[in-house]
Amino acid sequence: MEMIYDTHEARQIDEWAKTSGLPLEVLMERAGSEIAKQIKEHHDADERILIVCGTGNNGGDGYVIGRELIRDGYDITLHAPFGEPKTATARLHTRYAEKFGLVAEGICGQYDVIVDAVFGTGFDGARFTKSVTDLFAWVQEQQQQGARLYAVDIPSGIPTDQTSDFSGKGLKADATFCLHAFKRSAFLVKTAPFFGQLKKIDLGLPAFGGWSLYDESIEPLLTRNPYGHKGTYGTGLLIGGSETMPGSIQLATRAALRTGIGKLQVATVPSAQLGLIINAPEAMILDQTTETIQGIVTQVDVAGIGPGLSSEFTSEWIDLLLRQDIPVVLDASALIRDSYPERQAAIVVTPHIGEFARMTNQTVAEVQDDLFEQASAYAMLHQVIVVLKSHVILIAKPDGGGYVIAGASSGLAKGGSGDTLFGLITSLLGQRKHYQHLSIERLIAMGVSWYAQASKQVEQRMHPSSIVATDLIEQLGKVEG
DSSP state of 362: -
121 is in an annotated binding site: yes
pLDDT value, residue 124: 73
Cβ atoms within 10 Å, residue 215:
14
Q: Give me the sign of the Cα torsion angle 317, 299, 444, 448.
A: negative
pLDDT over 70, % of the chain: 100
pLDDT tens per residue, range 297-331:
999 999 999 999 999 999 999 999 999 999 999 99
Query: How far is it, in rounded angstroms, from Cα 32 to Cα 46?
Result: 20
Q: CA–CA separation, 395 vs 387, rounded Å?
A: 5
212-253 residue pLDDT tens: 999 999 999 998 889 989 989 999 999 999 999 999 999 999
pLDDT higher at 113 or 169: 113
Radius of gyration of the chain (CA): 26
How many whole angstroms separate alpha carbon 439 and alpha carbon 402?
12
Residue burial 7-16, b: 16+ Cβ < 10 Å; e: rest: bebbeebbee
Q: For residues 4 and 57, what is the distance between their CA atoms, to the nearest angstrom? A: 20
- pLDDT surpasses 80 at 186: yes
Q: Which residues of 315-347 are buried (b: 16+ CB within 10 A; e: fewer)?
A: eebbebbbebebbbbbbbbbbebeebeeeebbb
Model confidence over 130-180: pLDDT tens digits?
A: 899 999 999 999 999 999 999 999 999 999 999 999 989 999 999 999 999
10's enclosing H/E stretch is: helix 7-19
DSSP H or E segment with residue 5: strand 2-5
125 annotated as ligand-binding? yes
| Ordered domains of the chain (ranges, CATH) | 2-209 (3.40.50.10260), 219-476 (3.40.1190.20)
The annotation status of 73 as a binding-site residue, yes or no, is no
User: pLDDT band at residue 264, thresholds of 50, 70 and 90?
Assistant: very high
Main-chain phi, psi angles of 276, to 5 degrees: -70, -40
Contacts of 368 (CB under 8 A, 6+ apart): 163, 188, 189, 190, 353, 390
Could you read off the pLDDT of 341-368 as tens digits, one per residue? 999 999 999 999 999 999 999 999 999 9
61 is in an annotated binding site: yes
Q: Is 57 annotated as a binding residue?
A: yes
Q: Is 122 annotated as a binding residue?
A: yes
Region of 198 on the Ramachandran plot (φ > 0 left; ψ -120 to 50 alpha; else beta)? beta
Would the annotation count 352 as a binding residue?
yes
- pLDDT, one tens digit per residue, over 395-421 is 999 999 999 999 999 999 999 999 999
204 is in an annotated binding site: no
Strand partners, 79: 52
What one-character DSSP code corresponds to residue 207? P
Nearest-angstrom CA–CA distance, 20 and 313? 59
pLDDT of residue 121: 86
Does the annotation flag 379 for ligand binding? no
- Residue 59, annotated as binding a ligand: yes
Residue 461 clears pLDDT 90, i.e. is over it: yes
* Residue 53, C-beta contacts closer than 8 angstroms, at least 6 positions apart: 59, 60, 62, 63, 66, 78, 79, 80, 85, 104, 117, 118
Q: Where are the beta strands (DSSP E) in 242-299?
A: 263-268, 284-287
Annotated binding-site residue? 60: yes
Asked which of 199-208, 274-283, 348-357, 449-458 is least confident by mean pLDDT, the reply is 199-208
pLDDT of residue 207: 84
Average pLDDT score over the chain: 95
Q: Is 271 annotated as a binding residue?
A: no
- pLDDT value of position 14: 86
CB 160 within 8 Å of CB 6:
yes
Is 418 annotated as a binding-site member? yes
Closest CA to 30 of 76, 78, 70, 64: 64
| Residue 239 near residue 304, CB atoms below 8 Å | yes
Instruction: Say if residue 225 carries a ligand binding annotation.
Output: no
128 — pLDDT class (breaks 50, 70, 90): confident
